[in-house]
Structure 1
Amino acid sequence: MNPARTTRLLAIAASLFLGLLFGVLGTIVHQISVSVFGVFDLPVGLIVALPALALLLVGLRMSAPTRFAALAAAIGSICMVALLALPSPGGSVLIPDSALGLAWLIGSTLVAVVVLAWPRIKPREPQQPAVPTTRPDAVDLKLG
């Protein structure tokens, strides 16, 4: 097998694993909240989990020449979130029917779709000077 192809397949497999891992960890921590002076609860888990998933996908999108690595990670995270949203045989759920649960379900999917659909922006070319510094028909006269 071609070494470049093997490297690409390993990168995609690693990206899939990272997506699965981020899906599991995000599902576990998305419900963590901290009470702020007893006034309201700050959803720290969701505030950490969604940007972490976004940073993973954006990093894969920027570092890889194609979208396959980011696509593999997105598929892994979405599949894991969907799998963990189902009730277990004992009846317990990791993603309850609450505002935080819905925010994690919809937010993680939305982050994946936006990162994958975002167009690749090419770097700007250096601008050419408006007036050429030398004329093509000029003669170079050196004195001395």
Structure 2
Amino acid sequence: MRSSVPARVGTWFVALLVGAVYGLAGTIAHSYELGWFPLGLVLAIIGCAGLLVAVRFLTADRWAALATGLGMMTSTLVFSGKGPGGSVIVPEGALGSVWTLALPILVAIVVAWPDRIRPLAEN
């Protein structure tokens, strides 16, 4: 059963906002390292991937997952530039590059994943 159009648009809006919050948290935390291990980056990728998969499964709507991913990518884009005081949240380097590229790849995988695999018709 399909939801009404206002309910779906509301879901997309909420998904966009939640994605933006997760993207901001990941953008801030991705540079944390525990010794040599990039703990912040690993947790940020796992958290964002988990949210994307959860939204896709719970809503059964790839558009909601896309809205979540767009929120994540937008907040990463906005907060990765140079701030008004000259501070940079995502410094140029390996961790920043991985974080910046990981989000679009995660979003593409989750959104493009088929709804379900249908068994082949038997003869």
- Deviant stretches of 4+, over 3 Å: 122-125
Distance of aligned partners of 1:63 and 1:122 in 2 relative to their CA distance in 1, 3 Å threshold: farther
Aligned residues: percent identity? 31
Q: With the length of structure 1 as denominator, give the TM-score of the two structures.
A: 0.76
Deviation at 1:120, TM superposition (A): 2.1
- Tell me the matched-pair count: 120
Higher relative helix content: 2
Equivalent position of 2:113 in the other structure: 118
CA RMSD, Structure 1 to Structure 2 (Å): 2.0
Task: Considering Cα pairs closer than 8 Å and 6+ residues apart, tell me whether 1 or 2 has the greater RCO.
Answer: 2
**SS state of the match for residue 4, structure 2?**
helix
Structure 1 stretches of 5 or more lacking a match? 36-40, 129-144
* Aligned equivalent of 1:83, options 61, 78, 87: 78
Structure 2 CA distance for aligned equivalents of residues 110 and 122 of structure 1: 22
**What is the match of residue 47 of structure 1?**
42
Q: Which range moves more in the overlay, 72-81 or 112-121?
A: 112-121
How far is 1:123 from its partner? Answer: 5.9
Matched, 1:24 2:24: yes
The equivalent residue for 2:59 is 64
Q: Which residue of 1 aligns with 2:103?
A: 108
